[in-house]
Amino acid sequence: MTFFNETWLNQTPLFKFLEPNEAKELLKNFENMSFAEGETIFDFGDSGNCLYLVVSGHVELSIRDHTGQKIILKVAEPGEIFGELSLLDHGPRTATAIALETSQLACLGREDLIHFLKQKPEASIHLLSALGNQIRQTNNLVRARVAKNANEEIAGELGWTQKMADRITELAGSMSFLLANLIIFLVWIVVNLGLIPKLIPFDPYPFGLLTTGVSLEAIFLSIVVLLSQNLQATKDRVRADIEYEVNLKAEMEIGYLHEKVDQMNAVLLKKLDQIEKNRKGNS
């Protein structure tokens, strides 16, 4: 077991600015803790009440993604700290910490840490550096959001030709497009029947030019509709994928809640058993 004293404390980046007497004084506020291999130090979502300094051993920090796969954020080595984020913002733990081997840790409470940072502001740079490094690693590992916007995902996968086909189909199915065609046909027929004086018909009955134009329009719109149908299949696939991820996330959250309840039940039974033993011992 590593001997944890003020000399060792001064060798860690966060506390290297301390004078020997200051390190000795701060050392009194640390609580020494030991964890066996595979033992959980804290779980994701637990309340955070102290910062951990690895004295010996290695500690794995990990989270679960939306598929339930474990993502290792960091392996804390001797001299490194972890658990500082929850300590600073009063929020729950953002990861799960597990001892990879028999590990000795030193725990520093929030009030003691705040007092230390006020006394040694330069140590805040190292704390910010640790936070920044953790955020950078997290950004590199976790890129996808759990709940995605289907419209944003679809828009990101479509090419410009597909977007154009979708817009043309939307326009062709609107009432304004129908009214525009009716007006054009009506004016075309009235003019070419010679019903308006001084206007010379340019496409007399049986309106061959109009028939050709309508046929070309029908062919063009048919192709666009087919493209739009293929596009709709792509949209349905993206939505189905997102729904699957959301359902999987809900399933994982339920499983996580069951796990937490089981852990709480185990702790409660252990405490009740200890109370019962104490009562028997006193009697």
pTM: 0.47
CB 101 within 8 A of CB 39: no
Of 91, 89, 126, 118, the closest CA to residue 26 belongs to 118
Please tell me the distance from the alpha carbon of residue 73 to that of residue 95, in angstroms, as a whole number.
8
Please tell me the distance from the alpha carbon of residue 133 to that of residue 69, in angstroms, as a whole number.
22
At 72 the three-state DSSP class reads: strand
Q: Classify domain 6-141 by CATH architecture.
A: Sandwich (2.60)
Supply 127's token pair. 């704390």
Please tell me the distance from the alpha carbon of residue 76 to that of residue 104, in angstroms, as a whole number.
12
Q: What is the pLDDT along the chain (283 residues), one digit of tens a residue?
A: 445 677 777 777 767 766 777 777 778 888 888 999 889 898 888 887 888 888 889 999 888 766 666 778 888 888 888 887 776 677 788 888 999 999 999 888 878 777 777 777 766 676 677 666 666 666 665 544 444 555 555 555 666 777 777 787 777 778 888 898 889 888 888 888 878 777 788 888 888 888 888 888 888 888 887 777 777 777 777 777 777 777 776 776 676 666 667 767 777 777 777 877 877 777 6
CB 92 within 8 A of CB 43: no
Of 51, 48, 10, 52, the closest CA to residue 35 belongs to 52
Please tell me the distance from the alpha carbon of residue 85 to that of residue 42, in angstroms, as a whole number.
13
Q: How far are the Cα atoms of 16, 46, 276, 282 from residue 42, in angstroms, in the given order?
A: 27, 7, 27, 33
The domain spans of the chain are 6-141, 150-282
